[in-house]
């Protein structure tokens, strides 16, 4: 069975009630009883000494009669509500403030102790009493004792009275605590329910659902985090749709060509004399599929395992010259020229040579693809402090302003950037971005429609 938040809060409140009850009525009772026993002891001992020193001695010196002295003791009883005995040295009660005990013998064990708690004296009292005793002596002669007592129930009544007041106060705080618990339980339950409902809406694809939490606390932070996660998920869903659409298009087009020409050759629709032309088309489309598959595998490996780099020192200008030579065939098809601009001194960089070759290949291939016939491609290198900057610039169709920030996304192609060349996979720049980022370097793009595009990336300079 699922425990709800308000139930857990209620359990906590119940535990608190039990703990308060135990502390107040068990531990508190013990400490209060000791404190009040001490208070009553001080009072009785003080009264017994006062009577011993003042009343008894003065009455003897003044020559008061027994009846007069007894009246004084009864006056003390009326004022203090304490029972007073005047006991002889032999333990016999001479004067008592209550009836029926005069002449009785007080046990010697009581008289030998100046204080007794919960004491029972058979034939004199029926219940437990607190008793204070003070000896009355003249010089070295023991004249007698003053015994003051009160029922022990008074101590219990005082303790119980305190505990009742404490319990009432605790109960008031517990009622206040229950109200606060109820308010907070409702608050927490409501916020959790709102966030839960929002998650259900987002799960059902309703990404425009708003989370209505007005409080400025952790719940609002959680709501914002959930909403951000939903936005990212919505973008991911849209990206997946575009990804599938683009990859389906890029796979379908060459597969359709391969299947169509293969079937035509098989059926004899295409004469034997010209089959070589269409076999070359089939091989071209096969290479296109292979490139697309390799790019997808590269991206998958980069995401799952990261870009694995093998750092070496190499001459960047020499590598760029070699890369430019590999594009002579493609450039001749569009009558393009590649112009190299390098400093006179040798520039050594510290990077993964194979990965940087892949970056240069992607950038130059893009430049060729989107350049006008008879155009020019510029590859240059320059030093800047401890960095080496490599630039690849074309004089092609350019990129619209609204598309520049998106060129690094997978499969992103605008109609202009596609041009008439449909061979691109749309993954080259995404791979390029990840490779440069893995080197902890930067790559930037600037472009003007109808003028051209320039890519510039940095590498760490190394000593020869």
Q: Quick one: pLDDT at residue 180?
A: 82
Q: Is residue 162 part of a domain?
A: no
The count of domains in the chain is 3
Split at pLDDT 50, 70, 90, the class of 418 is very low
Task: Give 155's strand partners.
Answer: none
- Domain CATH code at residue 227: 1.10.287.130
319 and 428 assigned to the same domain: yes
Q: Is residue 386 part of a domain?
A: yes
- Domain CATH code at residue 440: 3.30.565.10
265 and 333 assigned to the same domain: no
Residue 282: partners with Cβ closer than 8 Å, 6 or more residues away? 257, 258, 261, 262
CA dist 339 and 228 (Å) reads: 47
Where would I find the beta strands (DSSP E) of 372-462? Answer: 376-384, 387-394, 443-448, 452-462
pLDDT tens track for 383-394: 988 899 999 999
For the chain, give the percent of residues with pLDDT over 70: 88
Q: Quick one: pLDDT at residue 228?
A: 80
Residue 351 above 90 pLDDT?
A: yes
The alpha-helical segments, DSSP class H, found in 5-65 are 5-22, 28-50, 57-62
237 and 148 assigned to the same domain: no
- Domain CATH code at residue 12: 3.30.450.20
- To 10 degrees, what angle do helices 275-305 and 218-267 make? 160
Closest-CA residue to 462 (of 344, 248, 312): 312
End-to-end CA distance of the chain: 72
> Which of residues 303, 338, 366 is at a domain's end?
303
> Which of residues 264, 285, 303 is at a domain's end?
303
CA dist 233 and 203 (Å) reads: 10
Q: Quick one: pLDDT at residue 420?
A: 41
pLDDT tens track for 216-227: 778 788 888 877
Q: Yes or no: say if 37 and 159 are a contact pair by the CB < 8 Å rule.
A: no
Dmax (CA) for the chain in angstroms is 161
pTM to 2 decimals? Answer: 0.48
Q: Quick one: pLDDT at residue 446?
A: 93
Q: Is residue 213 part of a domain?
A: no
**Of 290-299, 324-333, 447-456, which one has max mean pLDDT?**
447-456
335 and 251 assigned to the same domain: no
Residue 75 above 80 pLDDT?
A: yes
275 and 354 assigned to the same domain: no
44 and 147 assigned to the same domain: yes
> Which of residues 303, 326, 352 is at a domain's end?
303
343 and 421 assigned to the same domain: yes
Using the 8-state DSSP alphabet, how is residue 124 labeled?
A: T
Split at pLDDT 50, 70, 90, the class of 416 is very low
297 and 383 assigned to the same domain: no
Closest-CA residue to 404 (of 451, 439, 455, 360): 455
The alpha-helical segments, DSSP class H, found in 370-456 are 401-404, 415-418, 428-438
50 and 116 assigned to the same domain: yes
Place of tokens 């003051």: 148
286 and 312 assigned to the same domain: no
327 and 287 assigned to the same domain: no
Residue 305 above 60 pLDDT?
A: no
Q: Is residue 119 part of a domain?
A: yes
Q: Residue 121, Cα to own-chain centre: how many angstroms? A: 69
Query: Structural domain of residue 337, as residue ranges?
Result: 308-462
Q: Is residue 180 part of a domain?
A: no
453 and 317 assigned to the same domain: yes
Q: Quick one: pLDDT at residue 292?
A: 72
Q: Is residue 12 part of a domain?
A: yes
Q: Is residue 298 part of a domain?
A: yes
Q: Yes or no: say if 46 and 76 are a contact pair by the CB < 8 Å rule.
A: no
Of the given ranges (75-89, 129-143, 290-304), which has the lowest mean pLDDT? 290-304
Residue 57 above 80 pLDDT?
A: no
Q: Is residue 170 part of a domain?
A: no
56, burial (CB in 10 Å: exposed 0-12, middle 13-18, buried 19+): buried
Residue 63 above 70 pLDDT?
A: no
């Amino acid at each position: 069975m699922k425990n709800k938040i308000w139930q857990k809060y209620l359990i906590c409140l119940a535990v608190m009630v039990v703990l308060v009850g135990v502390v107040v009525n068990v531990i508190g009772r013990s400490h209060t009883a000791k404190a009040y026993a001490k208070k009553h002891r001080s009072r009785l001992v003080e009264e017994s000494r006062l009577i011993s020193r003042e009343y008894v001695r003065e009455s003897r010196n003044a020559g008061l009669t027994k009846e007069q002295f007894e009246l004084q003791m009864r006056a003390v009883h009326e004022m203090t509500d304490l029972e007073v005995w005047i006991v002889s040295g032999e333990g016999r009660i001479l004067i008592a403030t209550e009836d029926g005990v005069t002449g009785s013998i007080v046990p010697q064990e009581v008289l030998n102790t100046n204080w007794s708690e919960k004491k029972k004296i058979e034939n004199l009292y029926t219940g437990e009493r607190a008793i204070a005793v003070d000896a009355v002596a003249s010089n070295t002669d023991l004249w007698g004792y003053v015994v003051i007592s009160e029922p022990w129930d008074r101590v219990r009544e005082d303790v119980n009275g305190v505990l009742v007041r404490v319990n009432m106060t605790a109960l008031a705080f517990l009622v206040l605590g229950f109200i606060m618990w109820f308010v907070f339980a409702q608050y927490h339950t409501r916020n959790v329910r709102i966030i839960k409902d929002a998650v259900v809406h987002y799960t059902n694809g309703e990404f425009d659902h708003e989370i209505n939490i007005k409080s400025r606390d952790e719940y609002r932070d959680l709501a914002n985090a959930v909403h951000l996660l939903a936005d990212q998920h919505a973008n991911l869903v849209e990206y997946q749709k575009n990804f599938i659409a683009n990859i389906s298009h890029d796979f379908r087009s060459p597969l359709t060509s391969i299947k169509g020409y293969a079937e035509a050759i098989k059926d004899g629709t295409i004469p034997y004399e010209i089959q070589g032309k269409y076999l070359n088309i089939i091989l071209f489309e096969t290479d296109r599929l292979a490139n697309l598959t390799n790019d997808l595998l590269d991206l998958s490996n980069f995401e799952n395992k990261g870009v694995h780099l093998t750092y070496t020192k190499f001459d960047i200008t020499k590598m760029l010259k070699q890369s430019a030579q590999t594009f002579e065939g493609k450039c001749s098809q569009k009558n393009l020229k590649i112009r190299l601009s390098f400093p006179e001194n040798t520039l050594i960089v510290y990077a993964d040579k194979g990965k940087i070759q892949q970056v240069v290949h992607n950038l130059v291939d893009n430049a060729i693809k989107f350049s006008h016939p008879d155009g020019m491609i510029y590859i240059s290198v320059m030093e800047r402090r401890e960095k080496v900057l490599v630039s690849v610039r074309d004089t092609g169709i350019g990129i619209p302003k609204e598309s520049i920030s998106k060129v690094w996304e997978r499969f992103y192609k605008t109609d202009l950037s596609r041009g008439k060349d449909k061979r691109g996979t749309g993954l080259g720049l995404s791979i390029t971005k990840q490779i440069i980022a893995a080197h902890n370097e930067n790559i930037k793009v600037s472009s003007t429609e109808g003028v051209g595009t320039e890519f510039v990336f940095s590498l760490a300079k190394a000593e020869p």
